[in-house]
């Protein structure tokens, strides 16, 4: 309830509590009714505006009916084999009759009110008058001619169009429903529908839950139908816990072809999705790390995959050493370096991460740090293996011989990890620090990459390796060290001659 009070020529809006406008035996609503009647008899002093704050049962039913208007027929509930013909449905929607020569012009002015549904034309022929057209209106927004906004009514008036609303019976088919509407109508009522998916080229990658599995083939086909360019739908059927970081997948619908091409941050990658690791949700993180790099920096990519960190770094004129244990990732890493014309800037290895650190990385670090005093490049080490990367940090302990370089030249590590801890930042700092034998709480930064699952987050901890950790014969706390600081190492020539490859010439 609002009262406009005008004492002696001044206006002031007074707010008072609203009350139910329906009949009541309570004295307070009755008193308000009496008061409003008396106030209206006093001219020029009070103007009373009453606002209804409660919906009637009829209004609630109408609202529910609206939400069901564009829902598929109820008889599709529980369908496991997709029958597109079962989704036919006729609904009544409001339309505006206009002269055909102004229909498209008027439609541009009625964007708010016009119907927006997949596969439905917003302007159709009038079956009763060939000189006129019908503009489809949104039944959620337009109920009567009073539903138009003032600006819309003004346009209608200028074009000499009556705002009178007519009704039209519209037949909806499978093509007119969105994927979430179809799956929401098919899956058990009250259960989660597909909330998200990953697109990898022509492949849609799903992680189905148990209650969705009986409908998996239907879900796969719907995702193909409703996402242009998608020709294959797959479901992950185990976690990424094997040696090569790829996962076992099941083809739900479509082509069996897993050879795909993707574009990320203006670079092109080709690979067999069934044999390598690729996550399109890390695109922003790949870009973030690339932005930290400068021309002539040195990058060691310990778990490089098919190259989403390596190739952008090489394009920035960095010296890159990239490694992956998976032979398929190694193969496509070489291919993608050549595809993006950086094959001469990248040295590619096919080693276990620990062997890569103790072999090529150790040798190159020794050389780069000796030269660093002259040209002072930044050295970055990326360890993108969230499930296990922290375990590899102990390899840095006593990795180098000789006198330590100046602190600003020490390598900067970007190490990824998952955490389910209530304090994930502290958790990652403590685990990484334990692997190195130092405390990282005051000399590291932690970036939250993404939420992987409820109560599980992916993070990136960044820090410079202290000289006391990296160099032999330096003071270091060896508590909780599972292995001796000096480990058996292969000869450097073994790595460089047997396992080093560059992309072949064309």
Instruction: Write a three-state SS string for 77-99.
Output: CCCCCCCHHHHCEEEEEEEEEEE
User: Domain for residue 64, yes or no?
Assistant: no
pLDDT of residue 245: 66
* Whether 406 and 489 share a structural domain: yes
Please report which helix (H) or strand (E) contains residue 27, including its range: helix 27-40
* Whether 379 and 299 share a structural domain: yes
* Whether 188 and 167 share a structural domain: no
Nearest of 211, 98, 106 to residue 155 by alpha carbon: 106
Instruction: Establish whether 505 is an annotated binding residue.
Output: no
User: Domain for residue 81, yes or no?
Assistant: no
* Whether 299 and 437 share a structural domain: yes
User: Domain for residue 56, yes or no?
Assistant: no
Q: How far is CA 285 from CA 207, 309, 346, 368, in A?
A: 22, 9, 21, 26
Instruction: Establish whether 473 is an annotated binding residue.
Output: no
* Whether 303 and 396 share a structural domain: yes
Which DSSP symbol is given to 409? G
- Helix/strand/coil (H/E/C) assignment for every residue in 175-243: HHCCHHHHHHHHCCCCCCCCCCCEEECCEEEECCCHHHHHHHHHHHHHHHHHCCCCCEEEEECCCCCCC
User: Domain for residue 162, yes or no?
Assistant: yes
pLDDT values of the chain reduced to their tens digit, one per residue, 506 residues: 444 444 434 434 433 333 333 333 334 344 444 444 444 444 443 333 333 333 333 443 444 445 578 899 999 999 999 999 999 999 999 999 999 999 999 999 999 999 998 889 999 999 999 999 999 999 999 999 899 999 999 999 999 999 999 999 999 999 999 999 999 999 999 888 886 789 999 999 999 999 999 999 999 999 999 999 999 999 988 765 556 767 789 999 999 999 999 999 999 999 999 999 999 999 999 999 999 999 999 999 999 999 999 999 999 999 999 999 999 999 999 999 999 999 999 999 999 999 999 999 999 999 888 776 666 789 999 999 999 999 999 999 999 988 888 888 899 999 999 999 999 999 999 999 999 999 999 999 999 999 998 899 999 999 999 999 999 876 544 444 444 333 333 444 443 333 445 454 44
Which DSSP symbol is given to 102? G
CATH number at residue 101: 3.30.70
Question: CA 383, CA 375: separation in Å to the nearest integer?
Answer: 25
Could you tell me which residues come within 8 angstroms of residue 215 by beta carbon, excluding any fewer than 6 positions away?
79, 80, 183, 186, 187
Q: How far is CA 403 from CA 217, 264, 309, 369, 476, in A?
A: 63, 42, 31, 10, 15
- With b for 16 or more beta-carbon neighbours within 10 A and e for fewer, the 105-144 pattern comes to ebbebbeebbbebeeeebbeebeeeeeebbbbbbbeebee
Pair of tokens at residue 48: 């009373």
Instruction: Establish whether 355 is an annotated binding residue.
Output: no
* Whether 122 and 216 share a structural domain: no
Please report which helix (H) or strand (E) contains residue 495, including its range: helix 492-498
Instruction: Establish whether 384 is an annotated binding residue.
Output: yes
Could you tell me which residues come within 8 angstroms of residue 155 by beta carbon, excluding any fewer than 6 positions away?
106, 109, 110
* Whether 106 and 34 share a structural domain: no
Could you tell me which residues come within 8 angstroms of residue 466 by beta carbon, excluding any fewer than 6 positions away?
410, 436, 438, 443
* Whether 237 and 284 share a structural domain: no
Beta bridge partners of 412: 380, 464
Question: CA 197, CA 284: separation in Å to the nearest integer?
Answer: 17
Beta bridge partners of 4: 13, 47
Where are the alpha helices (H) located in 324-406, listed in sequence order? 327-339, 353-356, 362-375
User: Domain for residue 298, yes or no?
Assistant: yes
Instruction: Establish whether 299 is an annotated binding residue.
Output: no
- Phi-psi category of 32—alpha, beta or left, where left has phi over 0 and alpha has psi -120 to 50? alpha
**Domain region containing 168:** 89-172
Nearest of 290, 321, 329, 284 to residue 450 by alpha carbon: 284
User: Domain for residue 62, yes or no?
Assistant: no
Domain count, the chain: 4
Domain edge (last residue) among 172, 204, 238:
172
Distant-in-sequence contacts of 81-89, Cβ < 8 A, 24+ apart: 81/217, 81/218, 82/217, 82/218, 82/221, 82/222, 84/173, 84/174, 85/174, 87/172, 87/173, 87/174, 87/177, 87/182, 88/171, 88/172, 88/173, 88/174, 89/171, 89/172
Instruction: Establish whether 145 is an annotated binding residue.
Output: no
* Whether 450 and 406 share a structural domain: yes
* Whether 150 and 215 share a structural domain: no
Domain edge (last residue) among 257, 289, 309:
257
* Whether 28 and 152 share a structural domain: no
SS3 content of the chain, % helix, strand, coil (to 5): 35, 25, 40
User: Domain for residue 312, yes or no?
Assistant: yes
Please report which helix (H) or strand (E) contains residue 123, including its range: strand 123-126
CATH number at residue 240: 3.30.300.110
- With b for 16 or more beta-carbon neighbours within 10 A and e for fewer, the 483-506 pattern comes to eeeeeeeeeeeebeeebbeebeee
Where are the alpha helices (H) located in 251-352, listed in sequence order? 283-292, 310-315, 327-339
* Whether 285 and 253 share a structural domain: no
Please report which helix (H) or strand (E) contains residue 459, including its range: strand 456-464
User: Domain for residue 446, yes or no?
Assistant: yes
CATH number at residue 385: 3.40.50.150
């Amino acid at each position: 309830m609002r009262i406009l009070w005008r004492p002696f020529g001044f206006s002031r809006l007074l707010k008072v509590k609203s009350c139910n406008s329906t009949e009541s035996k309570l004295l307070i609503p009755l008193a308000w009714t009496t008061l409003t009647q008396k106030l209206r008899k006093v001219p020029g002093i009070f103007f009373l505006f009453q606002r209804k704050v409660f919906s009637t049962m009829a209004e609630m039913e109408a609202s529910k009916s609206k939400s069901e208007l564009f829902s598929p027929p109820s008889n599709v509930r529980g369908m496991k084999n997709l029958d597109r013909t079962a989704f036919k449905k006729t609904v009544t929607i409001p339309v505006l009759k206009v002269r055909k020569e102004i229909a498209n012009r008027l439609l541009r002015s009625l964007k708010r009110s016009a119907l927006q549904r997949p596969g439905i034309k917003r302007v159709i022929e009038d079956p009763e008058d060939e000189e006129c057209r019908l503009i489809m209106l949104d039944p959620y927004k337009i109920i009567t001619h009073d539903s138009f906004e003032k600006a819309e009514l003004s346009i209608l008036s200028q074009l000499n169009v009556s705002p009178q609303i007519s009704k039209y019976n519209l037949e909806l088919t499978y093509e007119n429903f969105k994927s979430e509407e179809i799956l929401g109508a098919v899956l058990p009522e009250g259960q989660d529908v597909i909330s998200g998916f990953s697109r990898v080229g022509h492949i849609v990658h799903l992680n189905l839950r148990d209650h969705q599995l009986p409908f998996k083939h239907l879900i796969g086909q719907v995702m193909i139908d409703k996402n242009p360019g998608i020709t294959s739908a797959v479901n992950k059927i185990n976690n990424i816990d094997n040696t090569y970081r790829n996962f076992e997948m099941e083809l739900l619908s479509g082509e069996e072809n897993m050879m795909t091409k993707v574009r990320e941050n203006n670079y092109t990658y080709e690979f067999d999705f069934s044999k390598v690791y690729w996550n399109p949700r890390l695109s922003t993180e790949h870009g973030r790390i690339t932005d930290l790099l400068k021309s002539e920096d040195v990058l060691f990519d310990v778990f490089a995959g098919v190259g989403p960190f390596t190739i952008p770094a090489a394009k920035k004129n960095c010296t890159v050493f990239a490694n992956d244990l998976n032979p398929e990732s190694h193969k496509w890493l070489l291919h993608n370096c050549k595809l993006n014309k950086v094959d001469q800037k990248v040295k590619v290895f096919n080693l276990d991460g620990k062997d890569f650190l103790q072999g090529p990385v150790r040798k190159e670090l020794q050389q780069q740090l000796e030269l660093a005093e002259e040209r002072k490049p930044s050295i970055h080490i990326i360890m993108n293996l969230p499930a296990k990367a922290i375990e590899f940090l102990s390899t840095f302990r006593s990795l180098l011989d000789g006198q330590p370089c100046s602190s600003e030249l020490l390598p900067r590590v970007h190490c990824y990890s998952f955490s389910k801890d209530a304090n994930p930042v502290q958790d990652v700092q403590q685990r990484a620090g334990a692997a190195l034998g130092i405390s990282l709480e005051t000399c590291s930064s932690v970036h939250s990459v993404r939420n992987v699952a409820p109560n599980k987050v992916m993070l990136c901890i960044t820090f410079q390796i202290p000289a006391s950790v990296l160099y032999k014969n330096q003071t270091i706390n060896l508590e909780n060290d599972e292995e001796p600081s000096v480990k058996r190492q292969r000869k450097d020539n073994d790595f460089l001659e047997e396992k080093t490859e560059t992309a072949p010439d064309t």
